[in-house]
Structure 1
C-alpha cells in the first residue's frame, strides 16, 4: 500500500500514527504555508512527527519532494527549509528517496506577479528549467513504487530558459502587451547565481513549456 498524502492533522503531534497505519510507503507532500523563515520550523516539526510515526508503523520507504539546487541558495529561507527537510530524512531511521524537481511551470505566473505593474514585468535573467506538475506527479509515483533510492533523483523539464525570456514567452502567448524588463535585482530569484535552478544530469520530463501553455 502506498501512503496517502498527509493531511493537516499529520503536521501536528496528532493524527500521524493513524495517517501511516498499514502503509508500506509514505509520500510526504506537505508544504509550508509561507516562504519565509517560519518555513524552517514547519519542516522541522512536520518531518519529526511523520518520521517518528512512520518508524513506529514499520514503514519501509519514505519519499519527499524537494527542489533542485535547494542547498545552493542559502539566501532563500524556503530553500534552506527544504535543504533541512532533506537532511532530516537522510539522517532518519527509514529507507528513503528524495525527488528534486526544478521550478513548476505553474509557478511562472506567480513569479511574474511579484514584480509586475500595469505596464512592465521585471525579471532577472536567472536560468531556469521548468517542469509541468503532472510530470512531477508521475516521477514521484514512479520512485514511490520502486525500491528506496537512499539518495536523490533530480527531475527537470526538457528545456532551459532565462526567467526573463520565459516571461516574454508567457506574455506573448497570452496576448499580454506588457514589457518584460530584465532586472537582476527583481523578485525572489534575483539572489540565485549561476544555473543552480536547471536540471543538469536530471531525468528529463517530456512536456515542453509552449505545449503546456497551449
Structure 2
C-alpha cells in the first residue's frame, strides 16, 4: 500500500512513516522541506499521485484566530488533490474532546478540520488523541512566573507520541472508519498534579499553585479532554519520563 504522509517530517509524521514502512507499506513523507505546500497547493498533486492513502499531519503555525483559515484552505487543497488522484482513504489526527471546547480558537479550528473531512469526497478516518506527553513542559512554561507555576486542575490523560504514531499508522493501513477513533494514555491526572510530578522528576524546585484561571486549559470545563473508553495506549507517564 502506498501512503502519502503530509507533514511527514514532524514529531508524529516521521514516526508514522517509519511504522508504515516497517510494516511493509510504501510511506512517503511530504512537507514544506520537500516542496509541498498545503496552503498554496504547490506539489500536492504530485505528492498524492498513485497513493492509496493520504495521512494529513500538517498543523497551523499559530493557535489563535488565524488557525481556522489554515485548516479550511489546507483541507480544501488536500481533498481536491486526493479526489483528483483517486485516493481511497484520507486520515487526519485531531484531539479528544475538540468539539466541546468552543472557547479555544485552535480547538474550533480542529473541529472545523474534522467537519470538512467528514463532508468531503474521500472515505476517511479521524484519529483523536489526548495531550502528548512531549508537549507538557511547554504547557508548564505558559503560566510560569519566577518560582511559581500556576495550573488549573483540568483532568488530562497524556499519551506518548510513539503511541499516537502507532495508532495513526494502524488506522491508515486499515479500511476507512468513516468516523472517529479516540486514543488516550492509560492514566488520568489533574493538570496541576501532572505539573508537580513533572517538576519533581526534573529536580525543579518551583511550586505548582492550583489556579482555575491560569492558562489556556482554564477554559476547559469538566473532563472533556479524557476518555476512559478510548483505545488506551500502553506507555505510562513514569515510564516515559525514565
Q: Tell me which interval the TM-score lies in, with the shorter structure as reference length.
A: over 0.9
Post-superposition Cα deviations, 1:165-195, rounded to whole Å, max 9, x if no partner, equal 0000000000011100000000000000000
CA contact (8 A) 1:115 1:121 kept: yes
Instruction: Give the drift of 1:2.
Output: 1.1
Distance 1:100 1:201 in 2: 13
Partner of 1:5: 6
Instruction: Give the drift of 1:107.
Output: 1.2
SS at match of 1:33: coil
Partner of 1:153: 181
Cα RMSD after superposing both structures:
0.8
CA contact (8 A) 2:153 2:190 kept: yes
CA contact (8 A) 1:10 1:50 kept: no
Work out which of the residue numbers 24, 27, 31 in structure 1 matches 2:59: 31
Unaligned runs of 5+ in 1: none
Distance 1:154 1:45 in 2: 25
Partner of 2:72: 44
Distance 1:62 1:26 in 2: 5
Post-superposition Cα deviations, 1:115-160, rounded to whole Å, max 9, x if no partner, equal 1022110000000000000000000000000000000000000000
Distance 1:203 1:65 in 2: 14
Instruction: State TM-score, norm by structure 1.
Output: 0.98
CA contact (8 A) 2:157 2:186 kept: yes
Structure 1 runs, 4 residues or longer, greater than 2 Å off = none
SS at match of 2:144: coil
SS at match of 1:26: strand
Unaligned runs of 5+ in 2: 8-30
Instruction: State TM-score, norm by structure 2.
Output: 0.87
Distance 1:74 1:180 in 2: 27
Instruction: Give the drift of 1:14.
Output: 1.8
Partner of 2:169: 141
